[in-house]
Amino acid sequence: MKLVLGRDDLAAAALSAVREEGTEPERVGIKPVHKASRGFVNHSDADLCELAIVTVLQALDHGKPVLLLPVTALGRHQHQTLVTMSKLSVADVEGRSVGVRAWSQTTGVWVRGFLTEQYGVDLRKADWTTYEGHHVEGAEDPSWVKRAPEGSKLSADFLDGRVDFGIMGNELPSDDRIRTAIDHAHEVAEQWSLDQGFIPVNHVVGVSETAAAGHPAAVLAAYDALKSVLTAKEEAGRPFPLHPVGFEALRGAFTKAAAYALEQDVISRAVDYDELVERTCTALGVSPDRLGG
């Protein structure tokens, strides 16, 4: 049983749990972990794989054999990821150029959702550039988004001033000229989460339909082990968990991300979160309560 998890502590816990269930596991080391998504979703290159939340939504939209194991591998605030090097602010996005690694990148979906919902930005009035395709075969950029020339890099275009704004999380370059486009971004993000009832989720865990049907006990054991690690490491004092676990704990983030994704032409149809819950539970032969539903 092949597992792809970016965090060493999560990988070790899942490997041990799967092995104890009598299934021999193998950790597949792919860094950064999002590069494993395409092979997992389209070709079942792994059995259990860390995935961006939007990749899960697109996989369902395109009928891929991918199920949601409701575990958050990466959660974080996102407002600070809209950056610029000029005196421009979020009020200047319309009519300006904005670069994002991929249209389906989850960080980009969250930020564009904030732009429309909180700041009234018409996304089609900005000049959007993407640098990579989608993880899910069959998904395409909207007609109003352009692809950068082959070989171009977002960080280079941003630092050289070829794009006015960039949406960048982990790939943000180190440069003293860079600043957040949203004033007091961290405070705004905290208030957004208080209003919504959750912190944005980036990465969850996907499981193939074949693995769920063939090794349900091992998959459930992996879930329990991941839950144990994440629950133990939650910081006291947070209004909401940074790494929510369980179907109900993830409902808010998934529902909001799905609404944003539909609005932005990332997915072609509305995705009902309960459809994800039902598919996973049916494949594993359990009730939603078994997975925090």
Could you tell me what percent of the chain has a pLDDT over 90? 92
Band of pLDDT at residue 160, cut at 50, 70 and 90: very high
Nearest to 161 by CA among 222, 92, 83: 83
Angle at 269 between CA 124 and CA 288, to 5 degrees: 130
* Burial class of residue 236, CB neighbours in 10 A (0-12, 13-18, 19+): exposed
Q: Which of 26-30, 232-236, 256-260 has the lowest mean pLDDT?
A: 232-236
Angle at 57 between CA 253 and CA 173, to 5 degrees: 70
Is 52 strand, coil or helix?
strand
Q: Compute the half-sphere exposure of residue 147: CA atoms within 13 Å on the CB side of its CA.
A: 11
What string of DSSP letters covers 18-37?
Answer: HHHTT---EE---SSGGGGH
Quote the CA–CA distance of 43 and 172 in Å, as a whole number: 30
pTM, rounded to two decimals: 0.96
Average pLDDT over residues 72-92: 95
The conformation of residue 4, written as its DSSP 8-state character, comes to E
Band of pLDDT at residue 213, cut at 50, 70 and 90: very high
pLDDT at residue 170, rounded to an integer: 81
Band of pLDDT at residue 268, cut at 50, 70 and 90: very high
Average pLDDT over residues 6-19: 97
Tell me the one-letter amino acid at 152: S
Q: In the numeric block, which tokens belong to residue 138?
A: 């069959």
Band of pLDDT at residue 237, cut at 50, 70 and 90: confident
Q: In the numeric block, which tokens belong to residue 113?
A: 């959702």
